[in-house]
Amino acid sequence: MLRDLRNFARLWVIGRTVARYDALFLLRIHPAGAFIARVSGLLWPPRKDARGLRPGHRLARALAELGPTFIKFGQALSTRADLLGEQEAADLSQLQDRLPPFPFEQSKATVEEDFGCPLESLYASFDPVPVAAASIAQVHFAVTSDGAHVAVKVLRPGIKAAIVRDIELMLWMAEKAARYAPKLRRLKPLEVVQTFAESVTLEMDLRFEAAAAQELGEDFAGSPVFQTPSIDWQRTSERILTMERVSGTRVDDRAAVIAAGIDPVLVVRNAAEIFFHMVFDHGFFHADMHPGNLFVKPDGAIVAMDFGIMGRVDGETQKNLGEMLLGFLTRDYRRVADVHIRAGFVPSEKGVDMFAQACRSIAEPILGKPIAEISIAKLLGQLFRVTETFEMQVQPQLLLLQKSMLLAEGVGRNLAPEVNMWEMSRPLIEGWMRARLGPEGRAVDAVADAISTLRTLPRVMARIEAITADMEKGGLRLHPDSARAIMGDAAERRSTHRWLIWAPWVLVAALGAALILN
């Protein structure tokens, strides 16, 4: 009860802000929500400066006024074209993560509290004027006592408590939506908020960002096209991140890139290659690749910054993504549909042929354009629009990847509008798919599965020994359900017995095949 009252009070403030920007269009999905939107509009008439703006722009302004958590949530919502609509999602993707800077005295106090020593003992110089101020933190340039030129990221004071409060409200709202609006359950509101909460919670500890930067740097160690700044771990804590200061041309400044003698097409090609290797080779990717976080060096290499939002994809998801992207790029819509059904994104009873037809209907108008104008981001937006018909389940774990694709496409289109980065990625995807789905890839997967099975044998044997010891002490009593399971189908038991006999030979054969293929 207390939780409901507290959240209702906060919701009142939020509702007033959003109503004043006439941005309650999301509530109109449900009849009760539509009534609330009408009443709110009467209580708090829209501001004059909000009139004439598109719904997405109005919502972006409202979220910006509500503060850091809602700015971040708006950026996450920009991937949900199925929920907002394509235009509204595109408008939210432009939501700027900027806030006024906080005083230098607070930055200094945070440094000294975290390290227990005067700021001057850590840094020979520390610029009091921040070079960037975002919703979570701000950045100062400094020189360490060792003479290294660094950038120091300082967490915004009080931000953790504010975000915890707002996430609690979002979870409460998601629970209510799932309970009282069944049509919204397909969109998995609770899982979406939980995914967002996990991402933002990691951002609250700058040590996680430091670890992510280092891991990504190790993934691309020695790469001529991608770099990350090194981390000064001795001057890094929960609220402080000290890293190498890097320089370069902003990736969205086409004129400056050309003036520096750098070929924009080369930069886009490098970006496509980087994105591919992040997702398909390492399964660990930068999920906030907006232009402010990417810089171009004189040789065309890209340097990334701000590693607070990162994403991961497992091997099975990599294969599904590869097949889906390749299916769209080659216009093999049955393949796209088959992957969706096999992965469980679309219920099998909906049928491959019908979903393939739907994929064709949304992809052809986009893929039929000149290659430079093809937008995978727009294709995804259109795909989401047909999800309700096919009861397609939203995959919260892919939201960050979708966002990253949207941002990467925007960067490429701004820098070199005459090329398409996804078409540049196509040979890489095709080669990867041949390696993973061809005979060699299947043999390697079989070996990996067999080794994984063998690794469980010691635990199984230990359990058998424990059961044997119990029986020796006076017998083993089984729960009736366990007894029925043990006395199950005899044919199944014989099949299992045969597998235990042949498993070692299957492993030997798989290893032999892998050696022959290598």
Exposed/middle/buried for residue 231 (C-beta within 10 Å: 0-12, 13-18, 19+):
buried
Query: Which of 164, 151, 203, 455 is CA-nearest to residue 308?
Result: 203
Number of alpha carbons in the 13 Å side-chain half-sphere of residue 408:
29
Query: What kind and span of H or E run contains 149?
Result: strand 149-155
Q: What is the DSSP letter of 204?
A: T
- Cα separation, 214 vs 221, whole angstroms: 10
- Cα separation, 459 vs 181, whole angstroms: 45
Query: Which of 31, 87, 16 is CA-nearest to residue 57?
Result: 87
End-to-end CA distance of the chain: give it in Å, rounded: 64
Cβ contact 190:171 at 8 Å:
yes
Cβ contact 20:44 at 8 Å:
yes
Q: What is the DSSP letter of 58?
A: H
* Among 97, 288, 306, 338, the one annotated catalytic: 288
Cβ contact 406:79 at 8 Å:
yes
- Cα separation, 369 vs 288, whole angstroms: 28
- Known catalytic membership, residue 288: yes
Q: Which structure tokens are listed for 245?
A: 């200061």
Phi, psi for 311 (deg, rounded to 5):
-135, 160
Residues 6+ apart with CB under 8 A from 125: 142, 143
Residues 6+ apart with CB under 8 A from 361: 386
Cβ contact 47:68 at 8 Å:
no
- Cα separation, 83 vs 322, whole angstroms: 25
Q: What is the DSSP letter of 231?
A: B
- Cα separation, 444 vs 435, whole angstroms: 10
Residues 6+ apart with CB under 8 A from 236: 206, 207, 210, 242, 243
Between the CA of residue 479 and those of 12, 41, 65, 81, 501, what are the distances in Å?
Answer: 53, 61, 59, 50, 29
Q: Which structure tokens are listed for 226?
A: 């991608």
Between the CA of residue 466 and those of 130, 460, 463, 478, what are the distances in Å?
Answer: 63, 10, 5, 15
**β-bridge pairing 123-126 and 302-304:** unpaired
Task: Name the residues annotated as catalytic.
Answer: 288
